[in-house]
């Protein structure tokens, strides 16, 4: 059961230090490989100091990157540089990036491809808005986002690690979690779409995370859904105890 924390624009280096000091006391080395942290870029080297020690195997990475290795792109982070410093994962197409910063499916596709090329694991985020759900467009929206988001994956990279995070926009940061049935239904659509694209075996290797108001109180019922392989957690990942509790409860 994967538990990925998306800190968004919260915490500075000092708070990151205190967080990981506490967090590492809460989990065993065996459990560590189930966790990944997407910290603000300014904290990535602090994350590395705590998480890439050899004693634990915790993933960490950025919440976004650009799709070329260098250039005149003020404010962006290079995927190659992220990989050079040791980042293992990178988020792509989080709904806040899509909605606030205007990221398109075609940008996401390029980012997925360069993150793989750089040797990291892309976590492609997708999900429908409330309005799209009301209009019964959930399936068409998430299938489009998935297919277009994977459109630039090169044949030689089709077997490289890749994760998908289904995050209904109406459930992010709202306290309105998808019901286990809604999450299960969306995940099964995504799994079938991956099977159509790349075959059953390959599709079964790709972890499908659920995100949107995941908390210790709902992680168990969501985790019971067949195609839910883990979580992408925003607000509830900001406290080490709460984040660990989500993981513990999911397994209980």
Which residue numbers are catalytic? 94, 167
Size of the site for ligand PGA (CB under 6 A): 13
Of residues 91 and 117, the one with the C-beta less far from ligand PGA: 91
Collect contacts of 195-200 with beta carbons under 8 A, ≥24 apart: 197/147, 197/150, 198/158
According to CB under 6 A, which one of 36, 51, 228, 232 is a site residue for ligand PGA? 232
Which backbone phi and psi does 71 adopt, to 5 degrees?
150, -175
Task: Find the residue with minimal CB distance to ligand PGA.
Answer: 234
Min dist. Cβ of residue 212 to ligand PGA (A):
5
Does 212 bind ligand PGA (CB under 6 A)? Our answer is: yes
DSSP bridge pairs for 166: 126, 210
Does 103 bind ligand PGA (CB under 6 A)? Our answer is: no
Does 126 bind ligand PGA (CB under 6 A)? Our answer is: no
Contact yes or no for 61/36 (Cβ under 8 A): yes
The region of 82-90, 114-122, 222-230, 233-241 touching ligand PGA under the rule CB under 6 A is 233-241
Does 47 bind ligand PGA (CB under 6 A)? Our answer is: no
Contact yes or no for 53/21 (Cβ under 8 A): no
**The tokens 């040797």 sit on which residue?**
119
Q: Which of 16, 173, 149, 43 is nearest to 100 (CA)?
A: 173
Does 235 bind ligand PGA (CB under 6 A)? Our answer is: yes
* b/e map 8-46, b = 16+ CB within 10 Å: beebeeeebbebbeebbeebeeebbebbbbbbbbebbeb
Does 234 bind ligand PGA (CB under 6 A)? Our answer is: yes
Q: Which of 123, 102, 108 is nearest to 3 (CA)?
A: 123
User: Angle at Cα 243 formed by Cα 239 and Cα 247, nearest 5°?
Assistant: 165
Of residues 117 and 232, the one with the C-beta less far from ligand PGA: 232
Determine the longest span between alpha carbons in the chain, in angstroms.
49
Tokens read off for 66: 């650009």
Q: Which of 200, 183, 184 is nearest to 192 (CA)?
A: 200
According to CB under 6 A, which one of 103, 117, 128, 167 is a site residue for ligand PGA? 167
Of residues 79 and 234, the one with the C-beta less far from ligand PGA: 234
Min dist. Cβ of residue 24 to ligand PGA (A):
22
Does 145 bind ligand PGA (CB under 6 A)? Our answer is: no
Does 230 bind ligand PGA (CB under 6 A)? Our answer is: no
Does 62 bind ligand PGA (CB under 6 A)? Our answer is: no
The region of 22-30, 67-75, 116-124, 231-239 touching ligand PGA under the rule CB under 6 A is 231-239
Does 233 bind ligand PGA (CB under 6 A)? Our answer is: yes
Interacting residue ranges for ligand PGA, rule: CB under 6 A: 6, 167, 172-173, 211-214, 232-236
């Amino acid at each position: 059961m994967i538990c990925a924390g998306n800190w968004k624009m919260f915490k500075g280096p000092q708070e990151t230090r205190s967080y990981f000091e506490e967090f590492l006391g809460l989990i065993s080395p065996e459990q560590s490989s189930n966790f990944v942290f997407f910290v603000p870029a300014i904290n990535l080297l602090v994350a590395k100091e705590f998480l890439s020690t050899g004693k634990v195997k915790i993933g960490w990475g950025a919440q976004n990157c650009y799709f070329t290795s260098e250039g005149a792109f003020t404010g962006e982070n290079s995927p190659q540089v992220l990989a050079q410093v040791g980042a293992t994962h990178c988020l792509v197409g989080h709904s806040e990036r899509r909605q606030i910063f205007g990221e398109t499916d075609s940008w996401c596709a390029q980012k997925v491809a360069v993150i793989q090329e750089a040797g990291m694991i892309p976590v492609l985020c997708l999900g429908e808005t409330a309005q799209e759900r009301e209009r019964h467009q959930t399936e068409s929206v998430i299938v489009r986002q998935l297919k277009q988001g994977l459109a630039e994956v090169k044949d030689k990279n089709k077997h490289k690690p890749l994760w998908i995070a289904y995050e209904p926009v109406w459930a992010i940061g709202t306290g309105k979690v998808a019901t286990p049935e809604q999450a299960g239904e969306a995940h099964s659509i995504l799994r079938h779409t991956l099977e159509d694209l790349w075959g059953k075996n390959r599709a079964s290797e790709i972890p499908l995370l659920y995100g949107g108001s995941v908390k210790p109180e709902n992680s168990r019922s969501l985790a019971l859904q067949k195609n839910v392989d883990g979580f992408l957690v925003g607000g509830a990942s900001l406290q080490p105890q709460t984040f660990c509790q989500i993981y513990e409860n999911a397994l209980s």
